Structure 1
Amino acid sequence: MTSRLLIIGGAAGPALLGRFVELAGGPGARIVVIATASSDPDAAEAEHLAAFDRHGARHVEALRLGDRVAANDPRVEPVLRAATGVFFTGGDQERITRIIGGTATDTLLQELVAAGTVVLAGTSAGAAMMSGTMIVEGEGPGVSRASVRTGPGLEFLPGVLIDQHFAERGRINRLLSAVALYPHELGLGIDEDTAILTDGDAFEVLGSGAVTVVDAGRATDIRTPEAGPITLAGCSLHVLPAGHAFHLTGREPRP
């Protein structure tokens, strides 16, 4: 089966949340909400439980993973194995990797996603953690090492760097900086109320905004000095609204 990921750039509207419920099985969906990233998990859980209930999912529950002991608790396994959809809320992406990375929960989610038995979705911080190299922060005015800080993600979608709230927060500088530092990775800047839906080696764009793809594969000159601006010449940039798709290995958009 094909692994399915719904990666949302933040502020997901009803259409995207409804699509997640549909992908997870509609009325028969069994959805698990994980608010590990949130500083207020009670509120984040309540918000998403109510949203998925409004979209017709009959079984929605929260899985509270507040520390690594909880993420390694054997009682997590039956909850996740019964799920058809797992949703990570926003907040701080480093909390997700610090608490879940390498635990039994991480191992099981990797297994379930690879087998295609669960749809995994994440918004904002829950989107950022999907990549292997994770953008953590950075709001610098230029394209430089100082404009971005990265760390290890959970790598549900290899070969990409994911940034979120992209157009709304003007994050092109930090995505360009990250791609220059990791040119083997495709940079994906996902706007709010916008998502990519993976299908094997490609993704489809959904929602009201666009996905900006930065590809340094054919760049002719990349220089990343310790201080000062980065050189990134000859890279490709694509802006893809809903209805477009992108082939990840081939590094090319599809109509």
Structure 2
Amino acid sequence: MKPGELLIIGGAEEKFHGGEVLQKFVDLAGRQNSGIGILPTASEIPDEVSSDYIQTFKQLGVGRVEVIDVDSRERAENPEILELVESLSAVFITGGDQSRLSKLIGGTRLHEKLTDKWKNGMVLAGTSAGASIMAKSMIVAADTKLNDDKLNVELGTGFGFLDHILIDQHFSQRARFDRLLSAIAENREIIGIGIDENTAILVHDNKFEVYGEHQVLVIDGKSSEFVDIKIGENGSEELTISGFKLHALTRGYSFDLSRRILILKKGKTE
């Protein structure tokens, strides 16, 4: 069996009937019709976040919505939690802090269960922090000091559903181009994907298609001609780069992650 689809959302998705991104997730989950699980571990207010998504998914016609209540590594090892995940057709990972997801779930039996279920067809979605956690590597900190323009980008370990990918979210809305470019300049084998709010990529068979309102940016430095990273007097990274590839995609366009090229339309590539 092929792995399930990954719906990776840039955050702030519309939560009402007719919102394209969450409707797509519900449509994908409905193929097996076993219910949707909400994993709010990234949030400091999980009950409030879960309540909002329960209401939204119910309005979108989902019959069974369960909260996967995990606030410790002990809970992530709990057989009851594993049985709950086993019974679901899809899991939605909410926003918050991706470091909490890594700290509380990474390497646990729940992480293993999610991976196994996804490899056997389960649909997984994540928004904001839940988007970043999807890949093997993720941005966990990017400190910018406005007084001296200092930027430090720190990478951590995600859930690993995607390899050689780095996902950033709230991308245009929070002006995150510099931090993603800096991360890719130091890790040129990785494809950087910046996803705007109320926008998503649907990943399947090593390709993705864009859904939603805004834009997805792809930064590819694998075939770069020149990269020089210097540390400035204030500790910031100063980049000189040449030959990076930049792709900007809007709704309906697709990208081949294996070949690293835009799919212009069915059967044709750039």
Q: Aligning the two structures, in what range does the TM-score lie when normalised by the shorter sequence?
A: over 0.9
**Letter aligned with residue 56 of structure 1:** G
**Letter aligned with residue 118 of structure 2:** V
Mark the structure with the bigger radius of gyration.
2
Choose the corresponding residue for 1:35, options 40, 61, 64: 40
Is the 8 Å Cα contact of residues 145 and 151 (structure 2) preserved in structure 1? Answer: no
Aligned to 2:174: 169
Length, aligned pairs only: 253
1:1-255 mapped onto 2 (5 Å cutoff): 1-13=2-14, 14-25=19-30, 28-116=33-121, 118-138=122-142, 140=144, 146-227=151-232, 228-255=237-264
Is the 8 Å Cα contact of residues 6 and 197 (structure 1) preserved in structure 2? Answer: yes
Task: Give distance in 1, aligned partners of 2:185 and 2:192.
Answer: 10
Task: Give distance in 2, aligned partners of 1:51 and 1:161.
Answer: 29
Report sequence identity in percent. Answer: 38
Find the residue that maps to 2:208 and give its secondary structure: strand
How big is the alpha-carbon RMSD for the aligned residues of Structure 1 and Structure 2? Answer: 1.7
* Runs (5+) with no aligned partner, structure 1: none
Q: Structure 1 segments of 4 or more deviating over 2 A? A: 26-29, 139-142, 144-147, 223-228
> Residue by residue, what CA displacement relative to the aligned partner does 1:136-163 show, whole Å, maximum 9, x if unpaired?
1325389x99342211111111110000
Is the 8 Å Cα contact of residues 141 and 147 (structure 1) preserved in structure 2? Answer: no
Task: Give distance in 2, aligned partners of 1:147 and 1:75.
Answer: 40
**Alignment TM-score, normalising by the size of structure 2:** 0.90
Task: Give distance in 2, aligned partners of 1:122 and 1:129.
Answer: 8
Task: Give distance in 1, aligned partners of 2:139 and 2:85.
Answer: 27
Find the residue that maps to 2:99 and give its secondary structure: helix
Is the 8 Å Cα contact of residues 145 and 177 (structure 1) preserved in structure 2? Answer: no
Bigger CA drift: 227-236 or 26-35?
Answer: 26-35
**Alignment TM-score, normalising by the size of structure 1:** 0.95
